[in-house]
Every structure is written in C-alpha cells, then in structure tokens.
C-alpha cells in the first residue's frame, strides 16, 4: 500500500499533525472544519495543540485557511484543545478546552474559553476567558471538549469528564442566556466502568428529539455512542441509542446541524497504527455522514454531495456466507458477521469507508 498517495476526498492538512475535528459549522456560505493541529510537526506533543482550519462548499474541494487558534494566552498556553462552534447574530463563536498545566491563580488545568470572528477566518479571544474556569464536583480534571447548542431559547454546553470514585464516564450540562455566563445544571449522561468521555455533540434532531453523541473511554476499549432522546427542563431522556461506526480506525467524531437541518458526522480516521510506515502521519477525516433515526434505529450515511463516490464492491472487501471481510496491510482483517442487505463502499487510495444496510453499521478503515 502506498501511503504517500494524496487523498482525493478525505481532508487532511498539507503539512502537520491532525486529530479531532473541532468547531464543525456552516457559516457565511461555507462549511467550516477546524481540527486539533500541530502545524510544525507530523506527530503530536512536540508543540501545544492549535486549531487548524479549512472550509468547503461541497465536501469535495477543500480550501486550507490560516491556523485559527494559537496557544498564546496564560489560560491556554499548554494547548487549545477540542470544542465546538456556534453562530449568533452573524458572529462565529468557537468554544474550546483551554489548557494551563501550571494551575496558577486557582485555575483548573482544563477550562473553557471562547474566540469569535465576524469573517470566519480571523479570531479574537474573549477578554473574560475562561468562561467556565473549573470542573464541577461531579467531574474531574479530565474536563474538556465543550459542545455548545441553542435549544428552546437557551444556550447549553455539554462537557466531557470522568468521575474516578465510581469509575464513571460522564457528560455534564451547563446553561447560559448569553454564551458568556454559565451555570452548572447537573449530570446529563453517564457510563459505568469508564475512565472518562470525550468529544461530545449536542443538538436538535428530527421528530422533536435531540441528538447527543460522545466518545466513551471504557477501562478496556473506546467507542462512539449516539443517542436520540427528549430534552426538557435541562434533562435529557434517552429513547434510542446506537454505536454506528465500528472503526477500527475511527475516533473523536463530531456531529453538527447544518443550514439544511441535517445532522452531520465527521470523524477522525487515526493513523497511529501506521506510524513509521510513511514519511508523515496518514490520518485524515471521514467524509460527512448524515445521522438519522428511523423506526428507532440510528443510522449514518454519506451526505448527498459525496454519494456518487460510492461503489458496490472493492478488491479489499470479500463477501462471505455470513457477511464480509476487509483485508488490511500487515494488520488483522476486519470481519463483519450478520445480514447484509445492502453494501456500499467509498475508496480513496488507502482509506476505505464501508456502509452496511444503509448506514446501520459503518467500518472506517486504513488499508
């Protein structure tokens, strides 16, 4: 497999490290994608995290933009970590986890800060940062990745965290009238036998429901959970849930609601397992998938703009009597067992996305 091939449809920067998608939003005629970024290195942790930035109108042609967030303030000097974006009164606001490992002046090392922009390219950090300076007693120092939404006339912020005393992964909920002053509401969701959660998403969805999603870090594995439910008086009640993307090369997905009312998922396809096999990291982002919930079943399927890229077969995918096998280079094959009523494949050089039964199950794979 030639990992030096340039990808055609899966976004990655021209140089530098990429991981979690951040701040996915439609603003001023473009879909904007921000991302965790080390602009000067092909591997992480040699410099504090920045927010890289790109935009597109069709999810096929990408324009690289200048780095949006630099770790240049006392409260974020150790990194501008993951978060989300929201538009209010023609202004684009970025909410991010601001990292200060010194814990000076009583600050938690992981807090929430804001940057804003009128043109969607040049950002100014809010003078009152951080707007959520410390984790709640219901959480821990693993307190990050703000997911901000506007629902029923109020702003909400979902925070990812863990609770070590009971080994729970938790999502905590905050409320605001103005995006800047936040009050803690309580525990929104939790999972047992976990270290913590990461990269939540929260928004309105079809049929009067809301969509809540998060990467859940169990004690022995990780998975991406998507939940549809009722949200009233600050309380989220799960009605339907699913783990749609089975990976194995998938993590830190983020969902956002676009101007067409679609809930779109873009996930990170990590290149960790291929480190040293190529001159640069081979990680990238998935194509956007549209989340839906039909008859209680959660699905995610490529957006209309990229569906013409789907095929019915691929040399790496071999059908079997009870499913199929995806062969990978120098790694164990991916085996799917179960009914296959429909199979669609999107191939982009060494990246494969396989959609089973209309998106009831997805495999994101580096070959």
Q: Which residues contact 89 (CB under 8 A, 6 or more apart)?
A: none
From its phi and psi, is residue 310 left (phi > 0), alpha (psi between -120 and 50) or beta?
beta
Q: Which of 156, 190, 144 is nearest to 171 (CA)?
A: 190
Respond yes or no: is residue 100 known to be catalytic: no
98 - beta bridge partners?
80, 111
Whole-angstrom Cα Rg for the chain: 20
92, 99 contact by CB (below 8 A): no
128, 115 contact by CB (below 8 A): no
84, 95 contact by CB (below 8 A): yes
43, 50 contact by CB (below 8 A): no
- Please identify which of the residues 2, 20, 119, 295 carries the catalytic annotation: 20
CA distance 13 to 41: 12
CA distance 121 to 53: 8
Taking the alpha carbons at both ends of the chain, their separation in whole angstroms is 7
Q: Which of 133, 189, 126, 201 is nearest to 163 (CA)?
A: 189
CA distance 143 to 93: 20
Active site residues: 20
């Amino acid at each position: 497999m030639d990992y030096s091939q340039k990808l055609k449809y899966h976004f990655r920067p021209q140089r530098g490290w990429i991981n979690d998608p951040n701040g996915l939003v439609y603003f001023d005629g473009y879909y904007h994608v921000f991302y965790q970024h080390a602009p000067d290195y092909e591997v992480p942790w040699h410099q504090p995290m920045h927010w890289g930035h790109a935009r597109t109108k069709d999810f096929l042609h990408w324009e690289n933009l200048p780095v949006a967030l630099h770790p240049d303030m006392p409260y974020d000097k150790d990194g501008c970590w993951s978060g989300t974006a929201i538009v209010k009164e023609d202004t684009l606001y970025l909410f991010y986890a601001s990292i200060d490992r010194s814990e000076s002046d009583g600050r938690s090392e992981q807090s929430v800060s804001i940057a804003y922009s009128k043109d969607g390219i040049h950002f100014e950090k809010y003078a009152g940062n951080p707007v959520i300076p410390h984790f709640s007693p219901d959480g821990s120092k693993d307190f990050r990745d703000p997911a901000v939404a506007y629902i029923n006339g109020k702003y909400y912020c979902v925070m990812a965290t863990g609770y070590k005393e009971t080994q729970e992964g938790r999502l905590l909920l905050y409320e605001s009238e103005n995006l800047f002053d936040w009050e803690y509401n309580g525990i929104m969701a939790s999972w047992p036998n976990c270290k913590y959660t990461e990269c939540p998403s929260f928004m309105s969805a079809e049929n009067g429901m809301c969509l809540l999603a998060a990467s859940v870090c169990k004690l022995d594995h990780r998975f991406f959970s998507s939940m549809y439910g009722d949200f009233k008086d600050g309380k989220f009640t799960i009605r339907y849930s699913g783990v749609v993307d089975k990976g194995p090369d998938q993590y830190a997905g983020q969902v956002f609601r676009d101007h067409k009312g679609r809930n779109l998922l873009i996930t990170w396809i990590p290149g960790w397992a291929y480190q040293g096999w190529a001159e640069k990291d081979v990680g990238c982002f998935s194509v956007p998938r549209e989340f839906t919930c039909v008859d209680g079943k959660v699905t995610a399927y490529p957006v209309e703009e990229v569906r013409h890229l789907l095929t019915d077969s691929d040399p790496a995918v071999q059908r079997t009597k009870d499913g199929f096998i995806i062969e990978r280079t120098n790694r164990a094959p991916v085996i799917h067992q179960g009914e296959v009523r429909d199979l669609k494949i999107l191939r982009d050089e060494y990246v494969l996305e396989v959609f089973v039964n209309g998106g009831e199950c997805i495999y994101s794979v580096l070959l």
